[in-house]
Amino acid sequence: MRNPVELAQRSLAADPTRTAVQARGLTRVYEVGAVQVTGVDGIDLLIPAGRLVVLKGDSGSGKSTLLSLLGGLDRPTAGELSVDGRDLRRLSEAGLTHFRRSVVGMVFQSFNLLPTLDVLENVCLPALLAGRAYPAARRRAAELLDWLGLGDRLSHLPRQLSGGEMQRTAIARALINDPALVLADEPTGNLDSGNAVKVMGLLADLNRTFQRTVIIATHSTLADPYAAMLLTLRDGRLAA
Ligand SMILES: Nc1ncnc2c1ncn2[C@@H]1O[C@H](COP(=O)(O)OP(=O)(O)OP(=O)(O)O)[C@@H](O)[C@H]1O
Ligand SMILES: [Mg+2]
């Protein structure tokens, strides 16, 4: 395994004066036919760079909605939102696509790996989409996978992996473009307790060793000891 510090030296250290997330009155209302469903409702939030944030709340409280907005997968219906100094409301579709590829890395409960690509190809894909040359992407992907303990699984297909291995592959994919922010939506939801501990530990390591801002939405208490900020959503609003 390569020394993580060696990898970290190539990464951008978080500037503590930088703000990872700034939101004011952030709102997402879904229109389903004639019915309006509130995803998040008037959220004010300031997250300095380099924090590990744990986002809690009952099912339907708005955690995934908030992460989708922060990751530029969705647009707010009202309010202001800046992520890593970029005003997401002002970004064009092309700008938002670039933002998704280069500023954030996302990890999901269901891994979302492409079934016909092997581990190395899955991890390389976001780098290739961002315009990186294949040899450089391959090198970085192999380094990350090595760090994540998957150095001997590069040519395996997702279906040949365990859940924990799939999630570690997804973490490598989230990191390939050196994102400032890693967003994880219930990353341990499909894992047994041993793998859940391992994955939360890796996310905490990313924060500590690589100084990445990490935001984890989870029902689990496993991330609590690592949290610099613990936020709770209730009916789309941040609880005091
Ligand atoms: N695409 C959508 N269309 C309509 N309503 C939606 C959509 N996505 C989410 N919602 C609604 O927005 C609210 C917040 O949902 P969200 O998925 O953000 O909750 P959550 O906290 O992530 O829940 P869970 O813990 O179950 O994952 C819910 O009432 C949900 O039904
Ligand atoms: Mg959710």
For residue range 53-90, list pLDDT tens digits in order.
Answer: 999 999 999 999 999 999 999 999 999 999 999 999 99
Residue 66 CA: which ligand 1 atom is closest?
18
Q: DSSP readout, 166-221?
A: HHHHHHHHHHTT--SEEEEESTTTTS-HHHHHHHHHHHHHHHHHH--EEEEE-S-S
Residue 28 CA: which ligand 1 atom is closest?
12
Q: Cα-flanking dihedrals φ and ψ of residue 187, to 5°? A: -70, -15
- Using 50, 70 and 90 to split pLDDT, how confident is the model at 6? very low
The pTM for the full model equals 0.92
Q: In the chain, how many domains are there? A: 1
In degrees to the nearest 10, what's the CA dihedral of 142, 145, 151, 155?
Answer: -70
pLDDT for the residue numbered 60: 97
Beta strands in 93-142 (DSSP E): 104-108
Ligand 1 pocket residue status of 63, Cβ below 6 Å: yes
Ligand 2 mean position, distance from CA 217 (Å): 8
Determine the structural domain holding residue 17 and report its residue range: 4-238
From the list 210, 170, 216, 172, the residue with the least C-alpha distance to 55 is 216
Q: What is the CATH number of the domain that holds 115?
A: 3.40.50.300
Residue 236 CA: which ligand 1 atom is closest?
14
Ligand 1 mean position, distance from CA 78 (Å): 17
